[in-house]
């Protein structure tokens, strides 16, 4: 999906500000526009003073000064309020947009990630950028007003504005050039940041010292920094020369205009041209100074519009509710899948029937496609070909939010929610997040009672050492908190456990799943399916059914006994692991 065109997005982003804060947006725009106008009229009052209209000139100057001061004060107040309100509105809008997308493609595709990273950064600036846009429009209006003032002397003096035009054009060109240089130097900058993080964070620092790589890393960091600096500095210098030339042209035009007026007009007009010319220079500098920000604003606007279009296109319209309980199970019919933007099938022609109530384990080598299978079941991606049927209904026709409300489980790359322990766990089931009994039941199911018991204030302990009074947990403890969160829902249709216990020892994992599987079978009436991904065959063997994924295909499917009797890959891998543990 491409980004929308720049100009087309301009109106949309302005509209967004207007919709969020209609009165403030108009007020901020008008006040900023009007605030600079009295300054542009100073040249006329100066002329009046010189040609004998002293009272009119003096009153004009006084009125202009007071108006400038008052309007600036008002502009600052209104703009500050507008910026604060619009910042909240925009950040909420961006967060909402991302949350409404049904799939997680935008979180996993590098080019989308880049766009979102830029947009996230720009969201912090967009409020400021609106201000910058208003200021630019105001400066352009002042330029027009000053040109009109100059025209009162002679039509020829308008030429001075033309001499100012290259300065603005060069500034706009300069910011484009600098951006190009930034993009060109971006890999060096990214690499330099990565190396800096490697050299300064505790985890990698340990490895670097053990392997003796720390000096090489520091030297590489310096080389990449130098590459970035050289590219940027070269671009700055080149742009600087052009800017100096453009300002030189304006200065020459200004001097020529003053000289010509002195020869052909009276002193009052000379004063007007001198004053208006100086103002013109100021407005040009203002417009040029804002050019960078306006370009950023346009860029951010384009990305915001892209996200809006993307969210609109990827928000499903499926209306069906999932069944209250599973009667038959989940069936894969000729399911193939390739990640968007890639050309390789990571799942090929998968046909499976997972009966209602079954505890199913998925095994396979790294990268075989196990997690992808789980993602498809969670509706995080639709299959590229084929169908997944839930009690006969295609998963595509089931409302994604309603389907996910009936999912439970935990993933290997779980989140560490740094809230109070109760909240961090309760998040797994929003309607019951504050029910103490639901939270404690989930903790028991996850075998995390000892983790919570060790916390200084139990369930009320803030998790995460960077918060006041916060407790730091080990990776394994975080993992058990995540598991407890995953067990909060007590009537899921599907529970997925995608290696959520990789940090636990084999024995603990085995006990945990044995207990979980027993509970799951006891609650058989829901027909709920449990899907477990693990590399540990001691855990895998207690599942009712085992799926073996190999090179993007499901190669074996059956009970432990049947697969062992079949003497295939599963039997071979199981025997190797069993021998190693003996
Ligand atoms: N977001 C993605 N975009 C593109 N390719 C991906 C993405 N996620 C995974 N893949 C690719 O899909 C294939 C299957 O990945 P998957 O994570 O499903 O494997 P897995 O069997 O769960 O591996 P592991 O045991 O290491 O967790 C891999 O080749 C991987 O590189």
Among the atoms of ligand 1, which is closest to the Cα of residue 368? Answer: 21
Does the beta carbon of 346 lie inside 6 Å of ligand 1? yes
523 pLDDT tier (thresholds 50, 70, 90)? low
pLDDT confidence tier of residue 3, bands split at 50, 70 and 90? low
CA distance 493 to 525: 11
> Token match 């997925």: residue?
496
Range of weakest confidence among 389-393, 458-462, 501-505, 548-552: 501-505
- Residue 417 in this model has a pLDDT that exceeds 80: yes
* Range 510-531 average pLDDT: 75
Least confident of 164-168, 316-320, 546-550: 316-320
pLDDT tens digits along 377-397? 988 888 999 999 999 999 989
Mean pLDDT estimate for the chain: 84
Residue of minimum CA distance from atom 27 in ligand 1: 366
Closest residue by CA, ligand 1 atom 16: 369
Quick one: pLDDT at residue 110? 65
d(CA 26, CA 79): 10
- Write the CB contacts of 291 (distance below 8 Å, at least 6 apart in sequence): 136, 168, 171, 172, 174, 175
Q: How far is the CA of 166 from the centre of ligand 1 (A)?
A: 53
What the block records as the tokens of 137 is 């429009």
ipTM over 0.95: yes
Q: What is the pLDDT of residues 112-155, one digit of tens each?
A: 666 676 667 666 666 677 777 788 888 888 888 888 888 888 88
**Cβ of residue 364 lying under 6 Å from some atom of ligand 1:** yes
Q: Whose CA is nearest to atom 14 of ligand 1?
A: 369
- Give percent of the chain with pLDDT exceeding 90: 23
Tell me what percent of the residues of the chain surpass a pLDDT of 70: 91
Q: Which atom of ligand 1 is nearest to the CA of 364?
A: 21
For residue 237, pLDDT beyond 70: yes
The yes-or-no verdict on residue 512 having pLDDT over 80 is no
Measured in Å, residue 108 CA sits from the centre of ligand 1 at: 11
For residues 225 and 185, is the Cβ–Cβ distance under 8 A? no
> CA angle, 494 as apex, 549 and 113 as ends, to 5°?
70
Which atom of ligand 1 is found nearest the CA of 105?
1
Residue of 105, 336, 345, 372 with the most ligand 1 atoms within 8 Å of its CB, for mutation:
372
Q: Are strands 385-390 and 553-558 parallel, antiparallel or unpaired?
A: unpaired
pLDDT in tens, 178-211: 878 887 888 888 888 888 888 877 667 777 777 7
Ligand 1 centroid–CA 316 distance in Å is 24
* 153 vs 337, higher pLDDT: 337
3 exposed, middle or buried (CB, 10 Å; 0-12, 13-18, 19+)? middle
For the CA of 373, the closest atom of ligand 1 is: 18
State whether residue 373 is helix, strand or coil: helix
Tell me if 372 CB under 6 Å of ligand 1. yes
Q: What pLDDT sits at residue 582? A: 59
CATH of domain 329-406+491-581: 3.40.50.300
What residue segments make up the domains of the chain, in order of their start?
1-151+293-315, 154-264, 329-406+491-581, 417-481
d(C-alpha 77, C-alpha 129), whole Å = 16
**Which secondary structure element, helix H or strand E, spans residue 242, and what is its range?**
helix 214-264
State which of 346, 364, 377 you would mutate to test the pocket of ligand 1, scoring each by most atoms of that ligand within 8 A of its C-beta. 346
- pLDDT range class, residue 80, cuts 50, 70, 90: confident
Q: How far does residue 42's CA lie from ligand 1's centre (Å)?
A: 68
Q: Are 475 and 503 in contact (CB under 8 A)?
A: yes
pLDDT in tens, 211-234: 777 788 888 899 999 999 999 999
What residues contact 572, with CB distance under 8 A and at least 6 apart?
none
Ligand 1 atom, smallest distance to 375 CA: 18
DSSP H or E stretch at residue 2? none
pTM: 0.69
């Amino acid at each position: 999906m491409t980004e929308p065109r720049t100009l087309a997005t301009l109106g949309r982003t302005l509209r967004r500000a207007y919709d969020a804060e209609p009165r403030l947006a108009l007020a901020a725009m008008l006040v900023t526009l009007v605030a600079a106008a009295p300054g542009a009229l100073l040249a006329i009052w100066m002329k009046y003073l010189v040609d004998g209209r002293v009272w009119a000139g003096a009153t004009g100057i006084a009125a202009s000064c007071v108006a400038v001061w008052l309007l600036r004060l008002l502009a600052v107040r209104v703009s500050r309020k507008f910026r604060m309100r619009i910042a909240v509105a925009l950040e909420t809008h961006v967060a909402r947009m991302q949350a409404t997308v049904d799939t997680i493609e935008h979180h996993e595709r590098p080019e989308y990630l880049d766009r979102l990273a830029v947009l996230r950064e720009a969201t912090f600036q967009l409020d400021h950028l609106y201000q910058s846009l208003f200021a630019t429009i105001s400066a352009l209006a002042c330029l027009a007003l000053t040109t009109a003032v100059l025209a009162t002397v002679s039509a020829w003096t308008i030429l001075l504005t033309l001499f100012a035009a290259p300065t603005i054009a060069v500034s706009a060109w300069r910011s484009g050039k600098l951006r190009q240089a930034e993009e060109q130097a971006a890999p060096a900058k990214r690499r330099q940041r990565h190396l800096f993080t490697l050299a300064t964070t505790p985890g990698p620092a340990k490895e670097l010292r053990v392997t003796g790589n720390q000096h090489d890393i520091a030297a590489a960091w310096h080389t990449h920094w130098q590459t970035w600096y050289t590219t940027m500095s070269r671009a700055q210098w080149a742009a600087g020369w052009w800017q100096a030339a453009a300002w030189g042209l304006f200065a020459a035009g200004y001097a020529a205009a003053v000289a010509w007026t002195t020869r052909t007009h009276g002193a009052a007009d000379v004063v007007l041209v001198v004053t208006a010319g100086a103002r013109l220079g100021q407005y040009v500098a203002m417009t040029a100074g804002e050019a960078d920000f306006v370009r950023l604003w346009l860029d951010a606007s384009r990305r915001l519009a892209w996200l809006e279009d993307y969210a609109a296109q990827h928000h499903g319209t499926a209306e069906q509710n999932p069944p209250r309980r599973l009667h038959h199970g989940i069936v894969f019919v000729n399911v193939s899948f390739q990640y968007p933007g890639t050309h390789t099938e990571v799942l090929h022609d998968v046909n499976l029937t997972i009966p209602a109530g079954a505890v199913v384990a998925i095994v396979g080598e790294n990268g075989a496609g196990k997690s992808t299978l789980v993602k498809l079941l969670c509706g995080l991606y639709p299959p590229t070909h084929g169908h997944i049927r839930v009690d006969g209904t295609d998963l595509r026709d089931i409302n994604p939010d309603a389907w996910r409300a009936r999912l439970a489980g935990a993933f290997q790359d779980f989140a560490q929610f740094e809230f109070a322990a109760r909240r961090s766990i309760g998040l797994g089931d929003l309607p019951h997040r504050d029910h103490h009994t639901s939270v404690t039941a989930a903790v028991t199911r996850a075998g995390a009672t000892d983790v919570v018991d060790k916390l200084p204030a139990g369930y009320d302990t803030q998790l995460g050492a960077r918060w006041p009074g916060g407790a730091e947990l080990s990776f394994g403890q975080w993992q058990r908190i995540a598991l407890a969160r995953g067990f909060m829902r007590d009537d899921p249709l599907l529970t997925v456990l995608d290696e959520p216990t990789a940090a636990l020892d084999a024995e603990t994992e085995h006990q945990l799943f044995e207990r979980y599987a027993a509970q799951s079978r006891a609650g058989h009436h829901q027909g709920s399916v449990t899907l477990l991904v693990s590399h540990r065959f001691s855990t895998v063997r207690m599942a009712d059914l085992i799926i073996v994924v190999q090179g993007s295909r499901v190669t074996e499917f059956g009970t432990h006994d049947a697969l062992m009797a079949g003497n295939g890959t599963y039997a071979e891998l199981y025997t190797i692991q069993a021998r190693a543990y003996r």
